[in-house]
Structure 1
């Protein structure tokens, strides 16, 4: 993926999302109403409001149905209290796939405010980004808050100037309003929520899902929009809204507005009066975090950047015991739509994390339960923001997600809604077979057995559970082990291919037939154990000692290679790690060329067995071919990261300079890619293979991939980075070294031309054309691209400029100019002496193309 696209995708992809399959026959919306107890003895105004109403739920909130209206009773003191408004898709239009964000629509910190006879809901999400420091003499634990719990409308006067400044500088939007229709003697307030939840709510709208089916909503149809159900339990109120939009359909533009319906689940839950004590984030440990700016901080600075990690509230039943059960374990429910045959594997995936919590001091920290049946609990709903659920989503999407809903004040995880699309089982099965058909005797044919597929599903679930526990991806864990370790059974079968299950390394690609490797996918690793201890273990006896001990423990992550953490899931992280060849996805092994070569060997053996493994199933053959080719190209592209590669020190990113990839290793990468690597794609063009997949265009597709290998190496940003490296290090691999090595690989032998050589030579022409066109424009495109990048991401001008560098002002350009005349002469001579007509014509065309390159930018 180009760097600009990666940055934009990363900025848009920091949150993991959720989904569900819900039985429309469940009684969530149809709980049997109960008569209001004691209605006759209520005061006159209350009797008028609730006369004839039927109660449909009572807890901290109460809900009633009266005719066509839905009434909700706010408890005394609810106005001004912090709450979370969470919205999720329950049912979507036919054909919609919730692939990018899953089912989550919004998650907002808010509070109720009363103005006259209206209760408004104010969004306070942005206010959590600006906080006052802890008051003198106030709570001192990390994450402890100032006088008022954030989100509350405190009655106490603001006495510190910073409190006055913060409370008067910003306000959140009012996102919903409910008319007050009565009150109760205890101070409760009765609201009519019918109109609001029967309509589209801008801050929690279902409009975006309509785009998935090519619908452009124009307006809500009120005659077909209504409250589909209400549930009250504990501190939460959940309302399902059935909203019908009148929308234009791109597939039928002349049909006029058509009805398109969506069901949304809104959960409103009161947050704890006192937020959970937060734990500070550390750049060495990859937790999702809640960032904010603290003004007048405890350490004395006027303004300071702070962050708290996301984690469940997990407290020991016996605080003095080294190992104790929690007061309340983390409980995951298996959704009602999950097929029975997969449940044992999903449960096993969740419970893989038990040893990590034992290392942090908790026994039985996690449990897995089946969702209650409709008979046991007719109102149970998977979108409820107060429960953790794993759901089966029958949509056409090969993926799984592990999202979380958090209290933004403290980072406390309130719930996790893991989403599994069934197609991920087949997708991972094909991926696994492609690498290990000759390594694992249990993976000779497709589809894989239920047992093998289930084992892979356990791994997938364990990875997603890790996200819900607060852990981000750890892509540097993919290269923690050497190739020798990964081929040694005693080591590889214990630790798997990565040092963390949160890596995207996935599989031990280097394991070869006869190595005796059986643990071919990721398991909970050393990094995971240490990270869970950082997030959930107990440190210190007071706030000061806790901070010291946490900081000291975090330092161990920088000293042990197995505990390194790095990823590319934000603009800041990409800026730091996008040139680090250790930070990889879908690849494993420390020695990049060697690990790639072994992985390619496995893929090529599988390609020879593809027909037998798919048993004549044409669709399975074609889709598996696509998976294999994609993985093969991905392995090759990982080698490209060695070019201009730099490895930052694994500390706070400030104390030491990064290390450059040695020149010999970069040279080896170029030679491998344009030699053995490019040639390794040739088996995909065998007529017996490619013509079963694509009669037209199959050969050209491989040619384009091979040509792209040259273009990637000659990218302007790579050329510029290599020149920068040489300026800082006189023995570094330079842009001129790159040019000479590419020339030798692509144009060294002009006696004849294989299809691979022709593809590489065309790729060279295209790459040179891009570089020379950028030079002719004087780098004008760089400024435009940098401005566009800064419009998308919070980058400094210098950082944006570096990321869109075209190489127009490097010494590579005059070297390229100087090399073209001799190359043209050689090509003309090769054309004259070629024995085969195809070679003669190809060399003549290449000479013509080189001649055109010489004219670019010339007067």
Structure 2
């Protein structure tokens, strides 16, 4: 059986031959491999990956070789250094094949069977592939690509055991895995797309390389953003400002395995991006179609962008892309929708906005609601696959009170400025606000339209990436006056306006306090919603666990305010980092003392706990509180506060580490000042957790491996001013615990205080 195409492919018995003409030699191709079925899929449903390489066929005498090409170094072909840089692009040889015969026009015929059916690491994830259990399944050839599928049997790389058992090859079958792999070998575009240079102010996934032909005194790191090739079909109309269709629209193929009732929602999740592409000057730029079912039509073809539906217990979804490294052009967008993402959406929606939408209290959720939630996830993942990373910054620029206003939400298109945020559903809104349910779910926002415009709008007056920079800079400076067009910065972990899973983080303290109000309402209805006659309590347990996680997120968002700095990426126009003033930090600690370190009674509901477990509440609360405490007293946070105090122009407006520790001690150890000291089991656990956190800061285990990179945040607490503050706090705490002992109201409190003093002594003198 023979297939004609880019190069002809011949099946002769169990063997596969490629007939490679001279016209293909030296031409760069994308080699993309995917495992499409596997005995090792377990929970993921994704079946693992395969190669994503640039390769080319070369002839060496009477042999043909397949060589990988690298694009980490570049130089202009006219530069003196070009020859040396060109040599750096020669990657490893992936295969070498004797010429078995010659076809017309000196086409070399080579046997490539072993390339796909033996151990060849770039061609699969299995080791010790056994040839007698591996074979070619299918081959197809087209004008620009060749597709191969094969079954491989071997040892998963993580098993650490030989593929052959003591009684012969594969005798211990549980140590082997069999997977069906699909490979695409497709020519890169004849003419590379014009690259667009990355700008840190606007979020795009990008590929970095080192260029050696710059006027700078040395090499230069440059990055090209990832984007599809969109070119106007009518340049004259485009110049007049009219919307035009692209020469080639972006097409996403919907996996036929997608549940039929969800296919229209998946379709909408793709095509809603058209409103953003209109900002780039295009209409009908992106669409979705259900993929056909045919032996010669594969979802894994490197030419096709696909939304895969994965049979999986994993509650997640992902989006990515395969690019031409020469230009950043996206050749294939990929979205993976794991089947159990529906469970995750149910949990999020119920725990965040059930008090605002009666449909959330109907479990399972109505199809119309679940479909809308799946659409939201698809739109987010499509965003990744068309080039966008996460952006937690833009939405935080909306005033926190405004996202409780229906008129604001309708005017702005929802409570998020970008669908690429991890913002989820509008838990800040309260029942009395009367927000319609359709405004609770994130939608395409102004940042999304701005980013599509910045990355995808052709700049016809420019001929090179460098000539585009002035226009791109002008567009990026729109962020200076329109704050919700901003993108996250490289200091995002320290920016309380750049939080994941957060709504209303323009005022994280206020917004998360409102979130707690809704969470209390959720807890009050939890048993009524989740308890069903004749069924077990798995749903109740799942939703309760989701509520505990939601509580932890809210408290973590509040803790992020302390020692935080507002950031804005700028190019030569002023300061990028501004530490927060004292007042919001003090308010954050006050709320943490009241809502996080005081026992969260909403999570200790006997009506729930006695239905789902015999025991577990006490350690669960301890774990949740310790996580918040550890976040608040993290060494990097404390060291930032030391530096902010040292550099402050006005020390009176700085919230110092000493003040933070004093305020936390007052909240965590509040009982020590009472006339009758009674510390219950939850508070005893919290106080022990406090000592564990401080101990870890003062007496960390010896570091293994190389020292941390240069930088203030890498400094351990025991090597900075944090150390004397913590030691002073322990001495004061020891004094207070000693004074409280005679006032202990019960035996457990007395034993606890004695233990506290002994533990403080050990921490202060660990070698004593």
TM-score by length of 2: 0.91
Residue 15 of structure 2: which of 69, 74, 77 is its match?
69
User: 3-state SS of the aligned residue for 1:348?
Assistant: helix
Matched, 1:116 2:61: yes
Corresponding residue of 2:309? 392
Q: 1:73 aligns to what SS in structure 2?
A: strand
Is 2:400 the counterpart of 1:483? yes
Instruction: Work out the CA distance in 1 between the residues paired with 2:764 and 2:738.
Output: 15
Structure 1 residues 730-786: Cα deviation after superposition (integer angstroms, max 9, x where no partner): 231111111211121122332332444323321221122223325xxxxx946x46x
Task: Specify the SS of the correspondent of 2:331.
Answer: strand
Q: Which runs of 5+ in 2 are unaligned?
A: none
| Equivalent residue in structure 1 for 2:429, among 511, 519, 526 | 511
Match of 2:720 among 806, 810, 823: 810
Give the 5 Å matches for 1:441-590.
441-493=358-410, 494-517=412-435, 518=437, 519-543=439-463, 546-566=468-488, 573=490, 576-589=491-504, 590=506
Classify the secondary structure of the residue corresponding to 1:554. helix
Distance 1:197 1:305, change over 3 A: same
Alignment of 1:724-803 (within 5 A): 724-729=643-648, 730-731=651-652, 732-750=654-672, 751=674, 752-774=678-700, 781=702, 784=704, 787=706, 797-799=709-711, 802-803=712-713
Structure-1 separation of matches of 2:336 and 2:595:
41
Q: Distance in 1 between matches of 2:396 and 2:162?
A: 47
Q: 1:222 to 1:822 in 2, by over 3 A?
A: closer
Where does structure 1 differ by over 4 angstroms across 4 or more consecutive aligned residues?
246-255, 299-302
- Kindly state the Cα deviation for residue 95 of structure 1 after the two structures are TM-superposed: 4.7
Q: Distance in 1 between matches of 2:717 and 2:749?
A: 32
Which residue of the partner structure matches residue 282 of structure 2?
362
The higher-RCO structure (CA 8 Å, 6+ apart) is 1
* CA distance in structure 1 between the partners assigned to 2:578 and 2:332 by the alignment: 41
1:458 positional shift: 0.5
Query: 1:39 aligns to what?
Result: none
Aligned partner of 2:740 among 809, 812, 830: 830
CA positional deviation for 1:813:
2.9
What do residues 532-588 of structure 1 show as CA deviations (whole Å, max 9, x unaligned)? 011111225133653321221122234421111016xxxxx3xx3221111111111
- Shift of the alpha carbon at 1:102? 7.0
Deviation at 1:429, TM superposition (A): 1.1
- 1:220-619 alignment runs, 5 A limit: 220-245=129-154, 256=172, 258-297=175-214, 302-321=218-237, 322-374=242-294, 378-493=295-410, 494-517=412-435, 518=437, 519-543=439-463, 546-566=468-488, 573=490, 576-589=491-504, 590-616=506-532, 617-619=536-538
**Residue 622 (1) aligns with residue 541 (2):** yes
Equivalent of residue 637 in structure 1, options 538, 556, 560 = 556
- Distance in 1 between residues matched to 2:731 and 2:499, nearest whole Å: 40
CA contact (8 A) 1:674 1:710 kept: no
Q: 1:689 aligns with which of 608, 618, 635?
A: 608
CA separation of 1:294/1:654 partners in 2, compared to 1, >3 Å: closer, same or farther?
A: farther
- Partner of residue 47, structure 1: none
Matched-pair contact (CA < 8 Å) for 1:85–1:110: yes
Distance 1:358 1:812, change over 3 A: closer
Residue number in structure 1 paired with 2:80: 161
1:507, 1:587 within 8 Å by CA — same for their partners in 2?
no
Partner deviation per Cα, 1:469-527 (whole Å, 9 max, x = no partner):
11111111341222211100111244322110001112212011121223112111111
CA contact (8 A) 1:445 1:614 kept: no
Give, in angstroms, the shift of residue 397 of structure 1.
Answer: 0.5
| CA RMSD after TM alignment | 2.4
Q: How many residues align?
A: 740
**What pairs up with 1:659-678 in 2 under 5 angstroms?**
659-678=578-597
Whole-angstrom CA distance in 2 between matches of 1:196 and 1:205 = 10
In 1: Cα distance, 2:161 partner to 2:26 partner: 45
Paired residues of 1:715 and 1:806 also in contact (CA < 8 A) = no
CA deviation string 1:60-119 (max 9, x = no partner): 2222222222222224321111111111111111552347x8743221111111112222
What do the CA deviations read for 1:802-839 (whole angstroms, capped 9, x no partner)?
Answer: 34332113334334434444433432342322333333
1:186 paired to 2:105: yes
Deviation readout 1:420-478 (Å, 9 max, x if unpaired): 01100121111101111111122113221111000000000000111111111111134
Instruction: Give SS of 2:473's match.
Output: helix
Moved more, 238-247 or 266-275: 238-247
Pair 699,167 (structure 1): closer, same or farther in 2 beyond 3 Å: same
For the Cα contact (< 8 Å) 1:372–1:380, is it kept in 2?
Answer: yes
Q: Is the Cα–Cα contact under 8 Å of residues 175 and 202 in structure 1 kept in the other structure?
A: no
Match of 1:34 in 2: none
Q: Identify if the C-alpha distance between structure 1 residues 468 and 768 changes in structure 2 by more than 3 Å, giving closer, same or farther.
A: closer
Alpha carbons of structure 1 residues 87 and 653: separation in structure 2 relative to 1, 3 Å: farther
CA contact (8 A) 2:454 2:472 kept: yes
- With normalisation by structure 1, the TM-score equals 0.82
Q: Is the 8 A contact 1:180 1:191 kept in 2?
A: yes
Change (3 A) 1:847 1:445: farther
- Distance (Å, rounded) in 2 between the aligned partners of 1:160 and 1:651: 33
- Other-structure match for 1:698: 617
Q: Which runs of no fewer than 5 residues in structure 1 stay unpaired?
A: 1-53, 134-146, 148-158, 208-216, 568-572, 775-779, 790-796
